[in-house]
Amino acid sequence: MRFASLIALMALVACSPAEDRDAAAATGGGTSRIYEVAGFNGVALRGSDDVDIRVGSGFSVRAEGPAAELDALRIVRDGDVLSIGRKQAFGFQWGDKAHVKIFVTMPRITSADLTGTGDLAIDRVEGERFRLHSQGSGDVAIGTLGVESADLTLSGTGGLSAKGSAHQLKIDLTGSGDVDAAGLKATNATVSVLGTGSVRATVEGPARVSVTGTGDVDLGPAARCSTTNTGTGEVRCGG
């Protein structure tokens, strides 16, 4: 009897709406959901789901995937950040979760945070500054970056690919993922590598480079580098 009561209590807690009070309202059914949420300029991805961001007029958030997985999705606006993750699960969970794809449209994006295994794709970033912090295994792809300042931090196994331009570029790589940004041009840069991942970018001006890991750094023939290298990685700057 006590065991049955415990199971019933767990089911009641699992169905509790307490954690959904701040969640965005969802409409739709089947394999698609639309979320009523706006007023954000940053995105935080927590979990295994993939996110595709398009910069455009207005806000829209749409998710596609198996109905049961969509029911478990939790989307919340926390200040000016859209947080994408899953509802807390209670009890035993059998099998692997199926992936969900989330499509986001927003007028501009200034920050992105990743802590899971999901991938993030951004078509373009424009404005004064952009900050990326990735500490998961998901990959990040930026189609076109056009900002004054870009601060890119990667501490997991996920990689980054990017093209475009930034007046000031800062890359802090402490994980095993690579930064493939040969098509990203910067006027000056600060690059730190403390892991096994490598960095490729194009700097047309001064750059400060610090390597204490095994990863390589290649900033192109126009970079004028001040280098501190106590690791085994190679640094390539200048012609």
Share of the chain above pLDDT 70, in %: 87
Q: What is the Cα 59 distance to its own chain's centre?
A: 19
In a domain, 128, yes or no: no
Residue 219: what pLDDT? Answer: 99
104 lies in the same domain as 147: no
Between 93 and 78, whose confidence is greater?
Answer: 78
53 lies in the same domain as 148: no
Q: Please check the confidence at residue 16 and state whether its pLDDT lies above 60.
A: no
Residue 201: what pLDDT? Answer: 99
For the chain, the domain total comes to 2
Percent composition of the chain: helix, strand, coil (DSSP 3-state, to 5): 10, 55, 40
138 lies in the same domain as 60: no
Q: Please check the confidence at residue 96 and state whether its pLDDT lies above 70.
A: no
204 lies in the same domain as 139: yes
Mean of the pLDDT values across residues 4-24? 54
Which range has the top average pLDDT, 25-34, 95-104, 143-152?
Answer: 143-152
What tokens does 70 get?
Answer: 């969509």
Residue 171: what pLDDT? Answer: 98
Mean of the pLDDT values across residues 100-110? 98
Note the pLDDT tens digit of each residue in 141-183.
999 999 999 999 999 999 999 999 999 999 999 989 999 999 9
Mean of the pLDDT values across residues 90-117? 83
In a domain, 57, yes or no: yes
Q: What is the DSSP string of 128-186?
A: EEEEEEE-SS--EEEEEEEEEEEEEEE-SS--EEEEEEEEEEEEEE-SS--EEEEEEEE
Mean pLDDT across the chain? 90
Q: Please check the confidence at residue 134 and state whether its pLDDT lies above 90.
A: yes
Residue 7: what pLDDT? Answer: 46
CB burial of residue 213 (10 Å; 0-12, 13-18, 19+): buried
In a domain, 219, yes or no: yes
Find the domain containing 69 and state its range.
Answer: 21-88+100-109
Give the count of beta carbons closer than 10 Å to the beta carbon of residue 221.
12
Quickly state the pLDDT bin for 97 (edges 50, 70, 90): low
66 lies in the same domain as 138: no
Stated pTM of the model: 0.88
104 lies in the same domain as 150: no
Q: Please check the confidence at residue 17 and state whether its pLDDT lies above 90.
A: no
149 lies in the same domain as 226: yes
Between 194 and 15, whose confidence is greater?
Answer: 194
What tokens does 199 get?
Answer: 């960095």
